Amino acid sequence: MKNTFIDFLNLGMQPLANSYIQNKNINKKERKYKLIIRFNENNKLVSIKNTFSSKDMFNDEYPYRSSTSKTMSHHLKQLAQNIKKTKPKKILEIGSNDGCFIRNFNRKKTIGIEPCSNVEKITKKLKYNTYPEYWSPKLATKILKKHKKVNIIFSSNTISHIKNLNEVFKGINIILDDKGLFIIEDPSLLECLKKNTYDQFYNEHIYIFSYLSLSNALRKHNLEIFKIEELKIHGGSNRYFIKKIKNNIKLHKSVNLHKYKEEKYGLNNLKTYFNFAKRVKKSKNKLLSIFKNCKKNNKKVIGYGATAKSVTILNYCHIDNSMIDYFIDTTFDKQNKYTPGTKIPIKKYSDLINDKVDYVFLGAWNFKKEIFNKEKKYIMNGGKFIIHTPYPKIISK
């Protein structure tokens, strides 16, 4: 069947999300692309139109570290504890980052795949077996020769970052034991649309999966989803439990339940996406009016968490250094740099009260609970946050 792509949202010219600018490069021209989101009416896949090569995005300067958030560390630890109960012989993780997940297991039991060599060094130093390569059928064959088949393949926020899904799933079929499980976590399209979190779209998120689209892509490779867990992490993600079709595990009721929710919301219908696009435009205008108001009243506004997601918001809404003084971020590799496109300085984490901050734009809104817990003093002193989801507003709890 011929693919029919329909563009439904234009988020304007954008820089690469994780390309934080060093001081010495501040006047250099940045690489930019048009961020257009499209829906494929045949296979129901939502994707970005203009893509970059993996090498352009995931290289030895990649700044993101999964372990910077306690919420994420705890989340992956819990999953690891559940997996341990099944006594797997070998676990492979695609996109092992700084080892946030594999660190919960005995070194002999895990294989990590992490193509960003600066990040891969972290797990290698801890003596975890890590391949500094991109996931592919070739790599799967190489690992198979050395380690035999694996019982669990896990991947958190990585499969949606790889353009060629056919190659991804071919690799899975090569290395996964016939009775093994492939578990992936990625942002939920349903939650993204419900919460108007259009910032989930940026160059690294080539796809935002729904059950409807992912199951179509898997079926071509004799793989199927047999259970879905709806997760709160990253503002709403799905954990898909996938098996080979020939493995007779019973279908869990969560699959049909989630499918029903997606169909009821209209993820099958183009109209749903055009309606989302209308809400995104409204969201932009409202957010801009909040920022303009702050500026008019000489309020000090800073950003909290220089996320990849916030790059989409800032560039789409044209929010720059005239509206946000600086960002604070706990990630060492982002500090003393500038936000891509909008060139807002990023500082290391500092006290919001001493810095006399009036409003804090929550770039890391997905960790609101963790951040609000940490910033009790600021909140008690009347400190306020600006958030864009589900619609732009000022909040203090």
Q: List interacting residues with ligand DWN (CB under 6 A).
A: 64, 68-69, 157, 204, 234, 305-309, 329-331, 334, 349, 364, 366-367, 370-371, 374
> Of 217 and 364, which has the nearer Cβ to ligand DWN?
364
> Of 255 and 364, which has the nearer Cβ to ligand DWN?
364
From its phi and psi, is residue 157 left (phi > 0), alpha (psi between -120 and 50) or beta?
Answer: left
Q: Which of 235, 244, 62 is nearest to 153 (CA)?
A: 244
> Of 253 and 348, which has the nearer Cβ to ligand DWN?
348
C-beta of 198: minimal distance to ligand DWN in Å? 13
Q: Which of 171, 147, 145, 148 is nearest to 158 (CA)?
A: 171
C-beta of 179: minimal distance to ligand DWN in Å? 29
C-beta of 323: minimal distance to ligand DWN in Å? 19
**Nearest residue relative to ligand DWN (C-beta):** 305
> Of 221 and 334, which has the nearer Cβ to ligand DWN?
334
C-beta of 68: minimal distance to ligand DWN in Å? 4
Kind of pairing between the strands at 301-304 and 359-362: parallel
C-beta of 204: minimal distance to ligand DWN in Å? 4
Upstream peptide bond of 345 is cis (omega within 30 degrees of 0): no
C-beta of 149: minimal distance to ligand DWN in Å? 28
Q: Where are the beta strands (DSSP E) in 157-299?
A: 176-187, 207-208, 223-231, 237-244
> Of 92 and 116, which has the nearer Cβ to ligand DWN?
116
Tokens of 286: 């409202």
- Tell me if 240 sits within 8 A of 219, measured CB to CB: no
Q: Which amino acid is at 87?
A: K
> Of 348 and 393, which has the nearer Cβ to ligand DWN?
348
CA distances from 351 to 201, 304, 328, 345, 359 (A): 31, 11, 10, 16, 13
Rounded-to-integer distance, Cα 325 and Cα 215, Å:
44
